[in-house]
Amino acid sequence: MYAGSCLCGQVKYTLSAEPGAFGYCHCTSCRKASGSAHAANAPVDRSSFQLVAGSTVIREYQSSPGKYRAFCSNCGSPIYAYLSAAPDVIRIRLGSLDTPFTKAPQAHTWVSDKAPWEPIADAIPQFDTWAPTTVLHQRGSRQDSC
């Protein structure tokens, strides 16, 4: 079991399944939503996600048609995102986990959008847009519809 929370602690959740494979997404939307150089998001079945606290402060924002991002309305911490076309899979914001998560990232995606001030100095494969699913299948993302 994994546990997670927002910065102020009002939103708390548990995961009864391990999050899936992930990469670092450098697209403009993920950079804006995370407030950082990239986002680290991993898929999990919605049925494995349990909101323990914070149902009154969690909000969803439709950042693009059919894409919803959930966050704490008190502190602004991003918690998860999902597509209306695949509502049974949510993409957990790995920075919100309180339980150690030790999987390694599989790819840097959307490097064509990366921040010019961000050097990528690791050996993780880089892709201008989506990584091939043979490298990283980003379940619950728009990669599935490409």
Grouped pLDDT means (10 residues each) for the chain, 146 residues? 97 97 92 90 96 97 93 96 94 96 94 94 94 84 65
Count CB neighbours of 115 within 10 A: 12
Q: What is the pTM of this model?
A: 0.89
- Unique residue bearing structure tokens 């990528």: 120
Domain membership flag for residue 76: yes
Write the CA distances from 61 to 30, 68, 71, 91, integer angstroms. 13, 5, 8, 14
**pLDDT value, residue 101:** 92
Please report whether residue 144 resides in a domain: no
Task: Give me the number of domains the chain comprises.
Answer: 1
In this structure, what CATH number is given to the domain that contains residue 49? 2.170.150.70
| DSSP state letter for 40 | E
Q: So what's the pLDDT on residue 136?
A: 86
Q: Phi first, then psi: what are they for 48, rounded to 5°?
A: -90, -5
Is residue 105 included in any domain, yes or no?
A: yes
The answer to whether residue 146 sits within a structural domain is no
> Under DSSP, is residue 48 helix (H, G, I), strand (E, B) or coil?
helix
